Structure 1
Amino acid sequence: MDIYLSINNREQVIKLPVLPSEFKIQSGMKNDTYDTISQGEIKLIGMETLKSISLQSFFPSKDYSFLKDREYKGWEYVNLIEGWKTKRIPIRLVITKTPINMACTIDSFEYGLQDGSGDIYYTLTLSEFKFIELNQRQV
């Protein structure tokens, strides 16, 4: 399994060098609950909410034998992701060997040093981005 982040149809691509130990997709529904006079509380099934995922791992500052990719080092990853945030465009998340391939927004990106190794530990929280499709009508 590999995890890729990219922008602008793979104009820039990051292959995560160290896979998170786990990840979970949060997928919910926008259901509403109402009180009625005759039936008490009822629930109406709404539409799906946007999916979200949080990835936790580290960007290595040096070469390790277990790395999945060696294109960038430490702070270069951080600078790329911070640059993508500044551009305010959706990114694509692809996790191979799974059906996960979705456009996302960066909700939060927390990173820092923690153990003296120089490696940058991070938490990247992404939410699904839906491209708006408008139906055009002729007059």
Structure 2
Amino acid sequence: MQRYITFLDESAGVELTLPVTPAGYEWPHEAVIQQVTVDQMGDLNFFGGRRMGSTTLRDCILPAQAYPFLSPGAGTDPWVYLEQLERWIDGGTVVRWLVSGTPVNTAVLLEGVSYREQDGTNDLYADITLRQYQAPETPVLPVQMQADAQPVRDSATGTSTEKRHTVSAGETLWGISRAFYGDGALAWRLAAANGIANANLIRVGQVITIPPLDQLPAEPEHPASARISDATTARYDADARRWAMQLKKEEAYYE
């Protein structure tokens, strides 16, 4: 079955079908897996959402001659095809990429196109790189307004009423609390505000709500695993070239 590869600019009603279907194409379907190292448990893997797809359509022929294998209605001016692709690239235009007879129908941005002449026919051979597009969701945060219509800012968080922070690799709640409140010891209260049972366990990509300081809940009782971690001392044995960990005797028993 003959496949046709089409780009469709829905907003402008412009459609471009490649005049010659490439010999092959690929489109990945992948998930983002975040790995977190947890004390006494080792490495844990967490689902972090779906990864956006990307691909490069290689050796796409933009013909200068009327070959019998061209797609129906195809033109023979390769520069017309190239100009349209470049307009979409330069304008950051979101287009739909469709492959006939398949489920491939997705919004993409054209990242780039490289082209060349290689056989003396004046045909262009183009490599077209695509990246899947998803419209960003912008959260709407409530803002308290004074009589002069200026937003009321919380001095501790530096934001209106509350803020959201996405955890990056290597971050801890202690560091996030210190960055927003100037006090890392507020990590457990921040954990409670986000329904996190153990302030030591957060993962990359997790979204943390940062409320104003006066809206932080009281510090909860630490779970046993955290209390044991707090009561554990570590020292490096240079002769044995290894770390030794020991639970403090006076805090070794927990209800």
TM range, normalised to the smaller chain? 0.7 to 0.9
- Once the two structures are superposed, what CA deviation does each residue of 1:7-56 show, in whole Å capped at 9, x if it has no partner? 13462111111111111102222211122221211111111011122212
Match of 2:130 in 1: 126
Bigger helix share: 2
> After the TM superposition, which residues 45-124 of structure 1 pair with which residues of structure 2 at under 5 Å, given as runs?
45-56=47-58, 57-68=60-71, 69-124=73-128
Q: What displacement does 1:135 show?
A: 7.5
Runs ≥4 residues deviating over 6 A: none
Amino acid at match of 1:82: E
Correspondent of 1:40 among 39, 42, 49: 42
Question: How many angstroms does 1:136 deviate by?
Answer: 7.2
Higher alpha-carbon Rg: 2
Match of 2:26 among 24, 27, 32: 24
1:131 to partner: Cα distance = 2.4
TM-score for both structures, normalised by structure 2: 0.50
Gaps of 5+ in 1: none
Unaligned runs of 5+ residues in structure 2 are 142-255
CA distance in 1, matches of 2:51, 2:96: 18
Q: Is the 8 A contact 2:22 2:57 kept in 1?
A: yes
Task: Name the structure with the higher strand share.
Answer: 1
Q: Secondary structure at the match of 2:48?
A: coil
How far is 1:90 from its partner?
A: 0.6
For 1:47 and 1:122, the matched residues in 2 are separated by 33
What is the CA distance between 1:61 and its match in structure 2? 0.9
Equivalent residues of 2:66, 2:76 under 8 A apart: no
**Deviation of the 1:74 alpha carbon:** 0.9
1:32 counterpart letter in structure 2: Q
TM-score after normalising by structure 1: 0.88
Alpha-carbon offset, residue 96 of structure 1: 1.0
